[in-house]
Structure 1
Amino acid sequence: MPAMTEIVCPACAAVNRVPPHKAAGEARCGKCRAPLFDGQPATLDAGNFEKHINRNTIPVVVDFWADWCGPCKMMAPEFRKAAEAMEPHVRFAKLDTEAAPDQAAALGIRSIPTMILFRDGREVARQSGAMPAGQIVQWVREASRA
């Protein structure tokens, strides 16, 4: 029997177990009732970053960005389109490097935007620079196979 999938709620950070027979794309948080996937990247901060990276059993793609960054702003709608295309198989999330500098520094983020793909709490791929949605999806698919 396939294992339960653990999904961290983007609204309240509660860990939810989604049974294999339930469509994860339609699942709601058991604590706050928010949809676990809504086509929008989850907003990460210093308080919930580690939980999202370590407790989601699906891959997590984090966009490290800042409000003052022009390329980051240009990529934001593309990142959202990629999230819409790949959920619920991949969690997309954003971390503002200005609001959470310790997380960015710990991961050696030197330029933004930078995307990191995490699996089982470990970094498996990294890509710097703005990309269109199609390239983001292709990068995630290729990196997920590695």
Structure 2
Amino acid sequence: MRPAPVAGVVVYVTRGLVDALLDMAESAEPEQTNVVLASTPAGEFETDLGLDPETPILTHFYLPDAGKSVRAVFGMDLGTPAGRGRARFISHPQGKLEVTERDDLAGVVLVAVPPWELDSLAVFDRAGTKLDLSVLDAEPPQESLA
């Protein structure tokens, strides 16, 4: 039996990110997927999401291999910009839909299990308490290298 979500705590994520993460997990199976996620404030979206402009919406991920060689030699994660990545996506190909002691933790942890569908995705805080997940059909703002 799944624990009930903590009332009032909602984590927002775009459908595009959910689809990409579930595809990534399915492609990696039987290996685990573990990626850092980043958010965009709701106020930066072109459409009004009906949320406070400061509400973080999970919109993209950092490639797991970025900065891997520097991390291996010096123990520093240069693949994630400073101040970013307070959320993480982890797949459990043979596990349960929960946070485990072996998972890399973050403030928010999205966990997925087979069959890699929206119903097999849940969100937890770092203590393993289930939170509400709201998937938004919204495109994040386009970023450019200026």
| TM-score of the pair, normalised by structure 2 | 0.24
User: Per chain length, whose mean CA-contact separation is higher, i.e. which structure has more relative contact order (CA < 8 Å, sep 6+)?
Assistant: 2
Could you say which structure has the higher helix fraction? 1
The structure having more radius of gyration, on CA atoms, is 2
With structure 1 as the length reference, what TM-score do the two structures score? Answer: 0.24
Q: Whose strand fraction is larger, Structure 1's or Structure 2's?
A: 2
